Chains A and B, each alone.
Chain A
Amino acid sequence: MKTQENNALQVRNLIKYFHDPETFQVIKGVSFDVKKGEFLSIVGKSGSGKSTLLYVLSTMDTDYEGSLEINGNPLTGQTQNQLAAFRNEHIGFVFQFHYLLPEFTALQNVMLPALKLGKFSPEEIEHRAYESLKLLDLADQGIKKANKLSGGQQQRVAIARALINNPSVIMCDEPTGNLDSKNSHAVQDIFRNLAREFDQTIICVTHDNDFAANTDRTIEMSDGLILK
């Protein structure tokens, strides 16, 4: 099947096994497309394979059958180092437990992926990082060590970090799973804005129905298959 121009992500006939403790088919042949600028949520019961699917989409998990393309780049079969470079430039991550580097300041945490990419000078990167912290209402937290921030603040820093390289896709694993309802709403609003105003593609795994209802499209998974 030919890749359509406005597809950010395309999955074809994805099959994934777990081998430990015994071989078990987690994802049983899944195909779907995600359009550019689409805000997609993946829901399902625990054990339905939704997180596993996300990690395959994220290119971190390479042990699968089928094919994966992001922005028309076929990613199946590439080496770990090639995929790392691809992630650096094209994919932003937001995890459930925010996963900042605790010894670095909030600003440094945001800057790291951009420093790694090396597309701009460190001064330019610092400026951009500061701008995106400001956008997320964290301007005065920049010089604090990441482990000194509250949970909601950390999650917003993680979002700023995911955005710094202008990635094609942002992937989130339960981004609100660890937040109270106020912070959860704030994060939802941020994603909403990103998708609408910056035409950012966002794929979120969540079991928060409220969150899912607020997205453009929801894929529900059950027993390794897409229900709708």
Chain B
Amino acid sequence: MNRQLKIKKTGVNKLIASTHLTSKIWQTVVAVMGVMFGVSMYIFMNSFMNGVNQTQDDLAFSTLAHVRIYNEDDRRSYNPVEDFFTNPGTLFNIRNKKSIQYTDGIKNTEQVISILEKQPEITGVTPQLNFSVFFRNGSKKINGSISGVEVATENQMFGIGNKVISGDWNELDFQKSGIVIGTVLAQTLNVKLNDNINVLTPEGVSKNLMVVGIVETSVKEIDKSRAYINIATARQFEGKNFDYSSDIQINLLDRDRTDEIVRRLQPLIPYQVESWQTANEQLLAASELRNIIAVAVSLTILLVAGFGIYNIMNMTINEKIREIAILKAMGFSGKDILIIFLTQATIIGLVGGITGVAFGYAISSMVNQVPFKVAGLATLPISYRTEDFILAIVFGITTTLVAGYLPARKASKIDPVVIIRG
């Protein structure tokens, strides 16, 4: 019985709320549109920023691994004589001091890789042997670098096979004297597929290689100066054994969680372990700044929409102040009045939120059609994330409720005597 009563009582509050909403339909539409624009702009801004970030990341991570292992001689200040004679009275005179390189590169690649493959977060590992060379074709001589790669794992990690615009990446596996070169480099050297080029290392090793593929990564620096050969050929060039590499590249399940794995690997591996965040701080900064801008802009829009709703609700309540007094005289409590106006705010928020999601999706898909042919893109990038849509609705409704609550509370506190007596 009591419950039934309650239902009926909220029923009358709903009736009043819906009559208020429908009798001044344009005012309601304007309020709904305020929320709709806020929510849709939030979705659009975030989807656009996500698209931009993702494109940027895809571009960056097409050549950049999440974690890199390398061996750099960091003992340049190794001074055995000074270290031995610590007596402050001792004088030294050493002339033409030469630095001796103790270790260079990774000598036990297989062993390191087998440690890495035991880590569950690691999705890909590939060794590389990188060195700088001169590319020569006839009288042309261009400074560049060569990556000796393991053909299959390199492709699995960086998807480089898809970026080979003529020839075939897998040829590197079959033709030990094959080379895949960057597209700009090919143009400058004036070579085509199946032409031969000469490669000369700083140590003076020279070798003729056949172009089996031309690659376009959209990263200018790489297209201009990089070439790929089989790691076995690279070891020949450098005169190293079969277990030697200069870098081991690692990809993780979640590239934002590198710290943890770097910390875990450091004691296991006697080389430097470096995350992409440390190596490329500018990448991280740019992507975070874009995120901050997106959030700031969309929150501002929602805030402005919130003020709009606050104004409209305030206006409505000032307009209806006598009716509120009458309702109170008839026996509606302050709570009833609060419910009546909060119901209106909720409906405005819900309708605005839902249409805003649809509208935001529509705007985003339209922008996604706008041609933008730069750096391997065809159209402006848009990337949808479920959490943006959920947050947009949550923010939209929260803003509306807060904006509606303040005037509604004012309405609930109206003293009917003051209003009715005039």
B420:A87 contact, CB within 8 angstroms? no
A58:B329 contact, CB within 8 angstroms? yes
In the complex, A199 has a CB within 8 A of chain B: no
Bound CA–CA A121/B7 (angstroms)? 11
Q: Kindly specify which of A38-46, A99-107, A129-137, A177-185 makes contact with the partner chain.
A: A99-107
The 7 closest A-B pairs by CB, nearest first: A88-B331, A118-B8, A115-B12, A103-B23, A84-B333, A81-B333, A87-B331
Which A-chain residue is minimally distant from B331 (CB atoms)? A88
15 other contacts beyond A101-B326, A112-B16, with CB at 8 A cut-off?
A: A51-B421, A80-B333, A80-B334, A81-B334, A87-B330, A88-B331, A88-B332, A99-B322, A99-B325, A104-B19, A108-B15, A115-B8, A116-B12, A116-B336, A122-B11
Q: What residues of A have a CB within 8 angstroms of the CB of B75 in the complex?
A: none
Interface residues in A46-95 by Cβ distance below 8 A to B read 51, 55, 58, 60-61, 80-81, 84-89, 91, 93, 95
In the complex, A143 has a CB within 8 A of chain B: no
B417:A61 contact, CB within 8 angstroms? yes
- Report how many A-B pairs have Cβ atoms within 8 Å: 82
B361 CB, nearest partner CB in chain A, Å: 35
Bound CA–CA A99/B324 (angstroms)? 11
Chain A residues touching B, majority SS: helix
Which B-chain residue is minimally distant from A52 (CB atoms)? B421
Q: What residues of A have a CB within 8 angstroms of the CB of B161 in the complex?
A: none
A222 CB, nearest partner CB in chain B, Å: 19
Q: What residues of B have a CB within 8 angstroms of the CB of A113 in the complex?
A: 330-331
A87:B329 contact, CB within 8 angstroms? yes
Given A60-B416, A95-B420, A103-B20, check contact A84 B12 (CB 8 Å).
no
Q: What residues of B have a CB within 8 angstroms of the CB of A117 in the complex?
A: 331
Bound CA–CA A27/B8 (angstroms)? 40
Q: Residues of B at under 8 Å CB distance from A?
A: 4-6, 8-9, 11-12, 15-16, 19-20, 23, 322-323, 325-336, 416-417, 420-421
Q: What residues of A have a CB within 8 angstroms of the CB of B336 in the complex?
A: 84, 116
Bound CA–CA A76/B420 (angstroms)? 21
Q: Residues of A at under 8 Å CB distance from B?
A: 51, 55, 58, 60-61, 80-81, 84-89, 91, 93, 95, 99-104, 108, 112-113, 115-118, 121-122, 161, 173
B9 CB, nearest partner CB in chain A, Å: 5
Q: What residues of B have a CB within 8 angstroms of the CB of A95 in the complex?
A: 326, 329, 420
Bound CA–CA A95/B325 (angstroms)? 12
Partner of A88 from B322, B330, B334, B335 at Cβ < 8 Å: B330
Given A85-B331, A113-B331, check contact A118 B5 (CB 8 Å).
yes
Of B23, B329, B333, chain A has the most CB atoms within 10 Å of the CB of B329
B20 CB, nearest partner CB in chain A, Å: 7
Q: What residues of A have a CB within 8 angstroms of the CB of B4 in the complex?
A: 118
B23 CB, nearest partner CB in chain A, Å: 4
Bound CA–CA A80/B4 (angstroms)? 24
Which B-chain residue is minimally distant from A100 (CB atoms)? B326
Which A-chain residue is minimally distant from B10 (CB atoms)? A118
Given A81-B333, A85-B333, A88-B331, check contact A99 B12 (CB 8 Å).
no
Which B-chain residue is minimally distant from A58 (CB atoms)? B329
Q: List 28 A-B contacts (CB under 8 A).
A: A51-B421, A60-B329, A60-B420, A84-B332, A86-B331, A88-B331, A88-B332, A89-B331, A91-B331, A93-B329, A95-B420, A99-B325, A99-B420, A100-B326, A101-B326, A101-B327, A103-B20, A103-B23, A108-B15, A108-B19, A112-B16, A115-B8, A116-B9, A116-B330, A118-B4, A118-B9, A118-B12, A122-B8
A116:B20 contact, CB within 8 angstroms? no
Q: What residues of A have a CB within 8 angstroms of the CB of B329 in the complex?
A: 58, 60, 87, 93, 95
